[in-house]
Amino acid sequence: MAKKASSRLEWRINVPDGTSKVLEPESGAVGKIWVGLKGCMGIIVLKVWRVLENAWHIGVADPRKVIHCIKVGLALSIVSLFYYMRPLYDDFGGNAMWAVMTVVVVFEYTVGATFYKCINRVIATFLAGALGVGIHLVAEQSGDQLKPIILGISVFLFASAATFSRFIPSVKARFDYGAMIFILTFSLVSVSGYRVVELFELAHQRLSTIAIGTSLCILVTMLFCPVWAGCELHHLIHQNMEKLADSLDGCVTEYFKENGSEKDLNKKMQGYKCVLNSKAAEESMANFARWEPTHGRFNFRHPWKQYLKIGASLRNCAYCIETLNSCISSEIQAPPCLRKHFSNKCMKASSYSINVLKELVITIVKMKKSSNIDVKVAEMNFAVEELVGALKSLPTTHFIATTTGEESTKAKAEGVEGSEHPSPIMKVLPLVKVVSMMVEIATRIGGVVNAVEELARLAEFKAAKDGKPKQNQPTDKLVADH
């Protein structure tokens, strides 16, 4: 009996007066159901709690999301006001609902996305409405029997064609929502049993309510803390660049560290993973950004597509850093003395590569041409060449040493990795991998530099003031002329 009791779950309450009370489970089926229900409730409460906790973290991490929610609430409340003010309601009647609907489906997080949906919705509604009225006119001419057939066939044809257009990538990128609204409006108009005169009235009401809804959305989204898709893309690109620089720094430091503070480094090293996975976000933002009007430092025709190219070149680098990372975490490592030999040169090459990336970050953040990017690229290339040079000179210093046995006795004295007598090439292999990855990364950073320079050309970045912009060229020319 004691055993049975102990295997039961006890619900104990500590009452404030110091005594404690055991809640005895109710006996029989009712009790079991009660316990089961309590369990279920517990799980549900726990899940809801986790979601809430998650939501809290999201809100704290990016307060603009909270602001967006308030903006949606605000826009809906304002559009509701139209209803409570009777005159408008009496004008539009039940169709005033379209204004609410427009606000709900059109209001998006970024200004660009809202514009995209608004413009698509207005144009598609207008086009489909006009076409629908036209076909109604034709159908009415052809008698009562043919009318449903003509209408049915036209709905079938136009809906199929518009649906297919959504599969074409160029249409999908710009007019996906418009195609859907086109089908919707066209079907509604064709199907409505009204006569053409009533139809004009309906079309007028629908267009006006949609106009009210869209203009309200655009006002609210642009006036209260606007989130511009273009700015977000701009921010994402230079943030990714910084993350890449940090990852590279983290990887190389981790590899050549003597005794490390691992936790900080590990977090830093994982930054490249964001870069690997940001393609979809970049593309959707670039799509929305081109709908945005001139804002801040960005014109209407800012070359957003070039950002995608920079993103692609960054991902190219990230692939290499991923491989570099796997070199670092591999079990077989080069002997410490060899690592020390390369440590300086590798750190130098990586720090110059990071300098180039950081300079590019500054170029993008300030939107000004860098005056000394060429110098930094040259420094990086020089450091990489030095590194390759060190690798070239390795055989004379180490291979021969190894084959004559010096190295192995040294390793034995240190008590590391010497016991297995790995062949000399296996000893340098991990280092060779790291070095060759460093070289490859530097090459790919060159690709990023080109992409950013192309952006500077397309977006007509101004030259930075602090440097001496392009003084070399005229001098060279002068020299050449004389």
> Residues 383 to 402: which contact its own copies by CB under 8 A?
388, 391-396, 399-400, 402
Number of chain residues interacting with its own copies (CB under 8 A): 84
Q: Which is nearer to its own copies, 378 or 425 (CB)?
A: 425
Name 300's Cβ contacts closer than 8 Å, sequence gap at least 6. 292, 293, 294
Report in angstroms how near the CB of residue 181 gets to its own copies at its nearest.
9
Identify residues 406-435 at the interface with its own copies (CB under 8 A). Answer: 422-426, 428-429, 432-433
Report in angstroms how near the CB of residue 92 gets to its own copies at its nearest.
12
Interaction of residue 456 with its own copies, rule CB under 8 A: no
Identify residues 26-65 at the interface with its own copies (CB under 8 A). Answer: 51, 54-55, 58-59, 65
Identify residues 306-325 at the interface with its own copies (CB under 8 A). Answer: 319-320, 322-323
In whole angstroms, give the CA distance from residue 63 to residue 77.
21
Report in angstroms how near the CB of residue 33 gets to its own copies at its nearest.
26
Pairing of strands 11-14, 20-23: antiparallel
Single out the residue of 60, 72, 203 nearest to residue 128, CA to CA.
Answer: 203
Q: Which DSSP category does 369 fall into?
A: E
Report in angstroms how near the CB of residue 155 gets to its own copies at its nearest.
5
* Residue 463 DSSP SS3: strand
CA 455 to chain centre: 20
CA distance to 9, 244, 251, 323, per residue, from 361 (Å): 60, 11, 20, 23
Report in angstroms how near the CB of residue 364 gets to its own copies at its nearest.
24
CA distance to 59, 72, 111, 178, 320, per residue, from 67 (Å): 9, 9, 13, 27, 39
Q: Which is nearer to its own copies, 294 or 450 (CB)?
A: 450
Q: Which is nearer to its own copies, 97 or 137 (CB)?
A: 97
Name 1's Cβ contacts closer than 8 Å, sequence gap at least 6. none
Q: Concatenated DSSP letters for 242-299?
A: HHHHHHHHHHHHHHH-SS--HHHHHHHHTHHHHHHT-HHHHHHHHHHHTT---BTTB-
Q: Which is nearer to its own copies, 82 or 228 (CB)?
A: 82
Report in angstroms how near the CB of residue 255 gets to its own copies at its nearest.
15
The binding track of 66-85 with respect to its own copies, each residue x by CB under 8 A or -, is x-xxx-xxx-xx--xx-xx-
The binding track of 104-143 with respect to its own copies, each residue x by CB under 8 A or -, is xx--------------------------------------
Pairing of strands 368-369, 20-23: unpaired
Sole residue written with tokens 């990086």: 380
Report in angstroms how near the CB of residue 474 gets to its own copies at its nearest.
33
Single out the residue of 394, 480, 473, 464 nearest to residue 429, CA to CA.
Answer: 394
Q: Which is nearer to its own copies, 70 or 196 (CB)?
A: 70
Interaction of residue 303 with its own copies, rule CB under 8 A: no
Q: Which is nearer to its own copies, 25 or 424 (CB)?
A: 424
In whole angstroms, give the CA distance from residue 254 to residue 267.
12
Give the interface segment with its own copies, choosing from 162-170, 206-214, 369-377, 452-460 (CB under 8 A): 162-170
Report in angstroms how near the CB of residue 172 gets to its own copies at its nearest.
11
**Which two structure tokens, joined as six digits, stand for 213?**
């809804």
Interaction of residue 183 with its own copies, rule CB under 8 A: yes
CA 401 to chain centre: 51
- Which residue in the set 11, 164, 200, 382 belongs to the binding site for its own copies (CB under 8 A)? 164
Q: Which is nearer to its own copies, 115 or 175 (CB)?
A: 175
Q: Which is nearer to its own copies, 35 or 74 (CB)?
A: 74
Instruction: Give residue 367's region: left, alpha or beta (phi > 0; psi -120 to 50).
Output: left
CA distance to 71, 121, 272, 481, per residue, from 282 (Å): 24, 24, 15, 47
* Residue 14 DSSP SS3: strand
- Which residue in the set 87, 94, 415, 474 belongs to the binding site for its own copies (CB under 8 A)? 94
Interaction of residue 146 with its own copies, rule CB under 8 A: no
Interaction of residue 170 with its own copies, rule CB under 8 A: yes
- Which residue in the set 110, 120, 190, 351 belongs to the binding site for its own copies (CB under 8 A)? 190
Q: Which is nearer to its own copies, 285 or 456 (CB)?
A: 285
Identify residues 229-288 at the interface with its own copies (CB under 8 A). Answer: 276-277, 279-280
